[in-house]
C-alpha cells in the first residue's frame, strides 16, 4: 500500500517539477508556452544566475493576447495566477536592453490540477489521492525553494569572490605605492644631506 503511495507521489512530483536554465542572448527574447484549462493555477518563479547586472525583463501573456504580468529589469520573482481562459499561456524573458551580455535564467513553471466537477461520493473515494497530490505539491515547492536558494548562494559566492579579488588587488597596489614612496624619500633625503665638495 505504502509502496503504491510513494510511487504515485514520486511520479507526480517528477511530472510537476520542471526547473530550467536558459541563456538569453543580448538583444533577444526567449519564450515558453503552457496549454491549460480555465481555472488552472499557474505559477512562475525565476532567478537570474549570471550575466550583466543580473536583471531581465519578464512578461506573461494570456491566450487572448492580454498581458497578465510584466516586469522590467528584475533579478528574481514569483508570480502565481489562475488561468482566466482555456488556451496557451506564454512566458517571455527579454534581454533587449543588454548591448552585449547574455543572461542565464533559472526558472520553474508550476501547473496545478485543472478544476473538476465531481460528486460527493467521488470526492470521498478520492480523498487519499487528493492528500497525495497536496503532499507532492508541497514537496515540489520545497524542491523549487532549494533550487532558488542554490542559485542565490552561487550568485552571492560570486559577488564575495569578486569583492575579495578587488580588495587583494587594491592592497597590492597600495603596497607598491608605499614601497615606491619610501624608496623615493630615502633617495631624496640621501641626496639632500650629501656633502658637495668644490674642487
Q: pLDDT tens, 19-55?
A: 678 888 888 899 999 888 888 888 888 888 887 788 8
Calpha distance 105→89 (Å, rounded): 19
pLDDT of residue 11: 43
DSSP string, the chain: -HHHHHHHHHHHHHHH--EEEEEE-TT-EEEEEEEE-TT-EEEEEEEEEESTTS-EEEEEE-TTS-EEEEEEEESEEEEEEE-SSSEEEEEEEE-TT-SS--EEEEEEEEE-PPP----HHHHHHTHHHHHHHHHHHHHHHHHHHHHHHHHHHHHHHHHHHHHHHHHHHHHHHHHHHHHHHHHHHHHHHHHHTPPPPP-
User: 134: closest CA among 9, 1, 40?
Assistant: 9
Q: Give CATH superfamily name and number for 2-154.
A: GOLD domain (2.60.120.680)
- pLDDT beneath 50, residues of the chain: 1-17
What is the edge-to-edge ordering of all strands in the sheet holding 56-61? Answer: 29-36, 87-94, 56-61, 67-74
pLDDT of residue 170: 94
- pTM, 2 dp: 0.59
Counting Cα atoms < 13 Å in the Cβ hemisphere of 26 gives 7
pLDDT of residue 167: 93
Domain ranges of the chain: 2-154
Q: Which residue has the cell 525565476?
A: 46
pLDDT of residue 183: 92
pLDDT of residue 153: 83
Amino acid at each position: 500500500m505504502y509502496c503504491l503511495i510513494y510511487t504515485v507521489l514520486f511520479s507526480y512530483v517528477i511530472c510537476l517539477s520542471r526547473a530550467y536554465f536558459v541563456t538569453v542572448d543580448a538583444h533577444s527574447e526567449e519564450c515558453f508556452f503552457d496549454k491549460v484549462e480555465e481555472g488552472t493555477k499557474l505559477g512562475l518563479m525565476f532567478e537570474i544566475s549570471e550575466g550583466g547586472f543580473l536583471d531581465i525583463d519578464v512578461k506573461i501573456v494570456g491566450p487572448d493576447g492580454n498581458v497578465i504580468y510584466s516586469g522590467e529589469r528584475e533579478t528574481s520573482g514569483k508570480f502565481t495566477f489562475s488561468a482566466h481562459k482555456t488556451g496557451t499561456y506564454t512566458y517571455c524573458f527579454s534581454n533587449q536592453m543588454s548591448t552585449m551580455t547574455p543572461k542565464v535564467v533559472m526558472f520553474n513553471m508550476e501547473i496545478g490540477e485543472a478544476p473538476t466537477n465531481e460528486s460527493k461520493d467521488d470526492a470521498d473515494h478520492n480523498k487519499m489521492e487528493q492528500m497525495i497530490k497536496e503532499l507532492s505539491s508541497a514537496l515540489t515547492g520545497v524542491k523549487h525553494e532549494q533550487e532558488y536558494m542554490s542559485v542565490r548562494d552561487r550568485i552571492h559566492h560570486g559577488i564575495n569572490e569578486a569583492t575579495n579579488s578587488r580588495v587583494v588587488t587594491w592592497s597590492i597596489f597600495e603596497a607598491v605605492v608605499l614601497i615606491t614612496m619610501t624608496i623615493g624619500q630615502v633617495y631624496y633625503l640621501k641626496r639632500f644631506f650629501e656633502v658637495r665638495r668644490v674642487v
